[in-house]
Amino acid sequence: MASGEDTLIARYFRPVATDPGAFGLTDDAAVLKASGDDLVVTTDAIVEGVHFLPDDPPDTIARKALRVNLSDLAAKGATPKGFVMTLALREAGDAWLQPFARGLGEDARLFGCALLGGDTVSTPGPVMISITAFGLTPPGKMVRRHGARAGDRIVVTGTIGDAALGLAILQGGAVAAALGQDVAGREMLIQRYRVPQPRVGLAKVIGDFASAAMDVSDGLAGDLAKLCAASGVAAVIDAQSVPLSPAAAALQAGGSVGFEAIVAGGDDYEILCTIPENRFAAFAQAARLAGMPVTSIGTVMAGAAAPRFLDAKGGEIRLERLSYSHF
């Protein structure tokens, strides 16, 4: 007789596990076909009350769980190949699991990243989803945090700060009030928090051009500091060049949020990378052809000082906080 866990897996997740190597989730392991490429592995967990709110739609929770891992793969220049998932639940009801599995399956197909296996467990605590994703790069071509050199351009994709502002809206308070009747702006920011946009389409371009790269998960300021420390360099950022969405720009211009909240809030899941100056024009052209927005925001400098953010007059912006921290 099948256990409750076996029934849950068969009902909700076997339809998502379409790769032949997953064996329909009927075995204790899966087979990921070997090739001449390097296998890149990354893992991230999202936890109720930390990375998503208890009343967030289940399909967006599933999408976020997978996409934060795909964001890491994209920053490494890796093409998604597959993933395994551990799901810790307080209860196993249709109302939550059906839309969760639907969202997971839709994204698995959208990004070509098949479910290969995993585990389901019960917990008295918060819901937790942990995903380990696998991607491929040509041999020796994974882009590390290490590799930035003095003179390189510092580049980010997309816009910065939206997700942190979306969370602030869901929590109520000044940011929600400041948007007033801007329903579209409010919904865009909330969606950026709930459903990240991993820059998978830029992975090959990152692999071809970047000297160093990582995704922005804990905040631009803090993640830039991590990249600089790994590369043994410093950085200078033109604060006005940091790309903002119209809604975020309006909130900053109105004084509802400061620059620190935008660059230290986290959950952006954009790519931060460094590009040699003599390759920047070709990189920007390749990014345009890939349909991915990129912005040059500063320069890598020699030295070991912390990154500096400069205002329009060249004055340094002092940041009390660089990023979100779990501990």
Strand partners, 129: 46, 87
pLDDT value, residue 3: 66
pTM of the model: 0.93
Contact 153, 280 (CB under 8 A): yes
Q: Round to whole Å and give the CA distance between 104 and 110.
A: 10
Q: In what order do the strands lie in the sheet with 212-216?
A: 212-216, 270-275, 153-157, 294-301, 234-238, 308-310
* DSSP characters over 118-160: EEEEE-SS--EEEEEEEEEESTT-PPPSTT--TTPEEEEES-S
User: How many Cα atoms are found within 13 Å in the side-chain-facing hemisphere of 155?
Assistant: 29
- State the pLDDT at residue 43: 97
In degrees, rounded to 5, the angle at the alpha carbon of residue 56 between the alpha carbons of residues 51 and 60 is: 80
CA distance 112 to 185: 30
What confidence score (pLDDT) does residue 2 get? 55
CB-count burial class (<10 Å; 0-12, 13-18, 19+) for 124: exposed
pLDDT at 173: 79
- pLDDT number for residue 81: 96
Find all residues with CB under 8 Å of 11, minimum gap 6, and list them: 97
Q: What is the pLDDT of residue 325?
A: 66
Tell which residue, 50, 262, 51, 281, has the closest CA to residue 159.
262
Give the mean pLDDT per block of 10 residues along the chain (327 residues). 74 88 84 89 96 96 98 98 96 94 97 95 96 97 97 98 96 89 95 98 98 97 97 98 97 95 96 98 98 97 96 94 68
Q: How far apart are CA 183 and CA 201, in angstroms?
A: 29
Separation CA 193–CA 50 (nearest Å) = 12
| CB-based contact 19:114 (threshold 8 Å) | yes
Specify the pLDDT at position 100.
Answer: 98
